[in-house]
């Protein structure tokens, strides 16, 4: 049995990341259960993601604590124990479920924008089926690796598919992860462009004169913005609420029939409102186009998830071609912070952010003046 003295430069940051991710995901799950936001499809997807994060980080925390206690690691040529095989199975199952949860959330956000009524009408049964679908690929790949006796000791604080089975690593995990990376980048790039175009249309409409027919509002523009401003189905409206509530405050007080708050399901301007204000005056009350990049980052864009996984994939690639350098093994610890980032990105709902901010600002402060 080949033993290697544990490298604490690698093991300790990895263990800390696993522990922080477990604590963060556990707290986020408790908050989602104890203080749930409004029930909607995305809430179920978020809980599904947090559960897989919690399982993965708990498994890595336990295995990391064992390796730190023993003070040594075993080579992948060492026959794995039953505990190592179980660790590898749980690792493969949970980490790939995280990947597919990220992809499914991205797809749901996209569908919410292009076809919001479809998401609004989805039944509870279909919601459950979508959540279960995130686990199906992981169940298949984890059982395939188990059937092929591919689990063993690897670099890091855990067990997984052996370094000698590069084909299985890429066929069952890394290949899917790279596909999900590129798919989410394409999806959110489209969302970014769509939001930019929509807010540009809003701003252009705000600069028109009173000769603009009011039916245009209920036509194409209203149709476009209705998909964007559905607060029950997508959370990209969070910053829009921040920027627009203060700008709409004066106009909204003067006309209850005018511009509705972004918390409504659509953006409407009545005919009397258009005829009662001139183009430049009306434009001055229109909200400035929000920072769409910030909106996407705050509301689920998995940029940090992708960045944190790059060292891990690079390390596994180096292992498959030879010996991985020590510095790359140390950087691989970043993958253990994915659960922490997911908990902060997805687990803290829009309602929780607003509630915390209100408490920090005090009861006399208005949310619209952040």
> Per-residue pLDDT tens for 309-332?
899 888 878 877 777 888 998 898
Domain residues for the domain of 305 are 3-98+134-165+300-369
- The token pair at 270 is 């009545």
Cβ-count burial of 332 within 10 angstroms (0-12 exposed, 13-18 middle, 19+ buried)? buried
The answer to whether residue 79 sits within a structural domain is: yes
Output b/e per residue, 134-159; b: 16+ Cβ within 10 A: bbebbeebbeebbeeebbbbbbbbbb
- The token pair at 228 is 């964007």
Dist. CA 268–CA 144, nearest whole Å = 54
The answer to whether residue 332 sits within a structural domain is: yes
- The token pair at 335 is 């993958």
Query: What pLDDT is recorded for position 298?
Result: 55
Q: Within 13 A of 99's CA, how many CA atoms are on the CB side?
A: 27
Q: Which residues pair with 5 in a beta bridge?
A: 72
Dist. CA 105–CA 130, nearest whole Å = 10
- With vertex at residue 312, the alpha carbon angle to CA 15 and CA 301, rounded to the nearest 5 degrees, is 95
The answer to whether residue 347 sits within a structural domain is: yes
Dist. CA 370–CA 361, nearest whole Å = 9
Q: Which residues pair with 127 in a beta bridge?
A: none
The answer to whether residue 340 sits within a structural domain is: yes
Which residues neighbour 192 within 8 Å (Cβ) at sequence distance 6 or greater? 292, 293, 296
Query: What pLDDT is recorded for position 156?
Result: 67
Give which of 243, 224, 257 is closest to 116, Cα–Cα.
224
Query: What pLDDT is recorded for position 348?
Result: 65
Q: How far is the CA of 357 from the CAs of 73, 82, 256, 262, in angstroms? A: 46, 48, 27, 19
Dist. CA 91–CA 94, nearest whole Å = 5
Per-residue pLDDT of the chain (370 residues; tens, 9 = 90+): 567 888 888 899 999 999 999 999 999 898 888 877 666 677 788 889 999 999 999 999 999 999 899 888 887 788 899 999 999 999 999 999 999 999 998 898 888 888 877 777 888 888 899 999 999 999 999 999 999 999 998 876 778 998 888 899 999 998 999 999 999 989 988 888 888 887 777 766 655 544 444 444 444 444 443 433 333 333 444 444 444 444 444 444 444 444 444 334 333 333 344 344 444 544 445 555 556 665 565 555 677 888 898 998 888 788 777 778 889 988 989 999 999 988 888 776 555 666 666 777 665 544 444 4
CATH number of the domain within which 75 lies: 1.20.1070.10
The answer to whether residue 190 sits within a structural domain is: no
Which residues neighbour 117 within 8 Å (Cβ) at sequence distance 6 or greater? none
Q: Which residues pair with 159 in a beta bridge?
A: 153
* Residue given tokens 């556990």 in the structure block: 26
Q: Backbone phi, then psi, for 5, in 5-degree steps? A: -60, 135
Query: What pLDDT is recorded for position 368?
Result: 41
The answer to whether residue 193 sits within a structural domain is: no
What is the domain count for the chain?
Answer: 1
Dist. CA 150–CA 19, nearest whole Å = 26
The answer to whether residue 274 sits within a structural domain is: no
The answer to whether residue 147 sits within a structural domain is: yes
């Amino acid at each position: 049995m080949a033993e290697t003295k544990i490298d604490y430069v690698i093991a300790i940051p990895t263990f800390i990341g696993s522990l922080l991710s477990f604590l963060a995901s556990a707290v986020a799950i408790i908050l989602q259960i104890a203080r749930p936001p409004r029930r909607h499809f995305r809430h179920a997807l978020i809980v599904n993601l947090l559960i897989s994060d919690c399982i993965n980080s708990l498994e890595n925390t336990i295995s990391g604590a064992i390796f730190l206690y023993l003070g040594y690691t075993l080579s992948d040529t060492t026959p794995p124990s039953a505990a190592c095989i179980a660790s590898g199975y749980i690792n493969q199952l949970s980490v790939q479920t995280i990947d597919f949860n990220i992809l499914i959330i991205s797809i749901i956000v996209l569908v919410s924008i292009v076809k919001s009524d479809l998401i609004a009408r989805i039944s509870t049964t279909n919601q459950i089926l979508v959540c279960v679908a995130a686990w199906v690929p992981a169940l298949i790949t984890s059982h395939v690796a188990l059937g092929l006796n591919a689990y063993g000791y690897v670099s890091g604080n855990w067990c997984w598919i052996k370094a000698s089975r590069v084909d299985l690593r890429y066929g069952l995990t890394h290949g899917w992860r790279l596909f999900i990376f590129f798919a989410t980048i394409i999806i959110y790039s489209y969302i970014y462009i769509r939001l930019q175009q929509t807010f540009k249309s809003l701003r252009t409409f705000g600069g028109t004169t009173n000769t603009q027919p009011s039916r245009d509002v209920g036509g194409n523009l209203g149709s476009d913005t209705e998909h964007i401003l559905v607060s029950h189905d997508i959370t990209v409206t969070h910053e829009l609420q921040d920027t627009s509530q203060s700008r709409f405050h004066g106009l909204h007080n003067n006309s209850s029939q005018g511009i509705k708050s972004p918390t409504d399901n659509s953006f409407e301007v009545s005919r009397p409102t258009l005829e009662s204000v001139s183009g430049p005056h009306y434009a001055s009350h229109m909200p400035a186009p929000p920072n769409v990049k910030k909106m996407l980052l705050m509301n689920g864009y998995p940029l940090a998830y992708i960045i944190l996984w790059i060292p891990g994939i690079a390390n596994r690639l180096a292992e498959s071609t030879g010996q991985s350098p020590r510095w790359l093994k140390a950087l691989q610890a970043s993958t253990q912070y994915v659960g922490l980032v997911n908990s902060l990105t997805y687990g803290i709902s829009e309602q929780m952010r607003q509630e915390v901010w209100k408490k920090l600002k005090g009861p006399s402060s208005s949310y619209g003046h952040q």
